[in-house]
Amino acid sequence: MQKASARTGPVHLYWLYLFALVPLLSEIVESGGLPNGPRDWLTEGVMTAVVVAGATVLRRQAIRVFDATHAQLVAVEELRHAERLAVVGQLASGLAHELGTPLTVVEGRAKMIASGEVSGAELTDSARVIVDQAKKMAALVRELLDFSRRRTARPERLDAGELAEAVVHLLRPMAQRKRARLTLERSGRQEIRVDPMQVQQALANLVVNAIHSVGAGGQVTVSVGRETVREREWVCLRVRDDGAGLTPEVRARLFEPFFTTKAPNEGTGLGLSVGNGLVRDNGGWISAESPASGASFAIFFEAA
């Protein structure tokens, strides 16, 4: 998007200057002709100048408002993309671990083919295994790239369970590296109308936080179903963990920008704030609870 200026941009408002002609046109209509005498011309001239000056001020103010709004929107999008890339950075090591097994299989089969150890049907089978493992690795890399890619919001009707499944699949390597258990519970098909990448980012932030919270041997559960809140039924994506839980002080500040309970260099403190904004932009809301043990975060959307 290009920045609006005094000469270009979406906020021209040149039509305001037409109001400068209103006094003169009004005089012509009422009198049936042009103003008579120097005094009438002077009066009309002063009125026209005042209206022109007012139109100029209004136009400049409108452009300033547009510029400020545009800059704010750009900053918000940059913040969201930066937070998404922060999650991608955490996923990278998990992805490397996930690629280890298929790479080992490919290397072993390739060595067998190169050394002549296999022939005939065994050769064909080894080549097929290499192709299958290569497709698996390509899919993993593609998922990571799709998650990190910048794109405009495009709401669509989708199954919340499939969206949650994609997030769990993407983050399972991270959970395994942290020696935490990550599971998914789904209850039928739950359709919502949202931008999938934005909601995926918000849900991923909650899951990443939960994985960090539980540590080795902990349990993180992502569930998708229907819940009744405020006398209405909602589609709910819930993330539960058995970590340390949330103190009242922490709960009060959860969605504040840059607030974090993590150690230095382990988080920006923007994940929940950005995620909350993304969910609200898609017509939903987030709640946080601290039951007897651990923490529970829920994202609510209207059913499509």
In a domain, 3, yes or no: no
pLDDT tens readout for residues 253-266? 887 765 666 655 55
Q: pLDDT 10s per residue in the chain (304 long)?
A: 444 444 444 445 555 556 556 665 665 666 655 556 666 666 666 666 766 677 677 777 777 777 777 666 666 566 555 666 566 565 665 566 667 778 888 888 888 888 888 888 888 888 888 888 888 788 777 766 666 565 567 899 999 999 999 999 888 888 988 899 999 999 899 999 999 988 998 999 899 889 988 989 999 999 999 999 989 999 999 999 999 888 888 888 887 765 666 655 555 445 687 788 889 889 999 999 988 789 999 999 999 9
> In terms of residue numbers, what domain contains 95?
83-148
Is the same domain home to 162 and 288?
Answer: yes
In a domain, 5, yes or no: no
pLDDT tens readout for residues 181-228? 999 999 899 999 999 988 998 999 899 889 988 989 999 999 999 999
Amino acid (1-letter code) at residue 13: L
Is the same domain home to 111 and 179?
Answer: no
Closest by CA to 301, choosing from 198, 210, 150, is 198
Q: Are 110 and 130 in contact (CB under 8 A)?
A: yes
In a domain, 144, yes or no: yes
Q: Which residues pair with 238 in a beta bridge?
A: 223, 298
Is the same domain home to 286 and 193?
Answer: yes
Is the same domain home to 286 and 202?
Answer: yes
Q: Where are the alpha helices (DSSP H) in 116-159?
A: 121-148
Listed residues 55, 75, 95: the one ending a domain: 75
Is the same domain home to 128 and 215?
Answer: no
Question: For the CA atoms of 263, 264, 270, 276, what is the dihedral angle to 10 degrees?
Answer: 0
Is the same domain home to 102 and 227?
Answer: no
Is the same domain home to 189 and 134?
Answer: no
Listed residues 53, 75, 97: the one ending a domain: 75
What CATH code is carried by the domain that includes residue 234? Answer: 3.30.565.10
Is the same domain home to 199 and 102?
Answer: no
Listed residues 75, 100, 118: the one ending a domain: 75
Those residues with Cβ within 8 angstroms of residue 73's Cβ, 6 or more apart along the chain or in another chain: none
Split into its structural domains, the chain has a count of 3
In a domain, 107, yes or no: yes
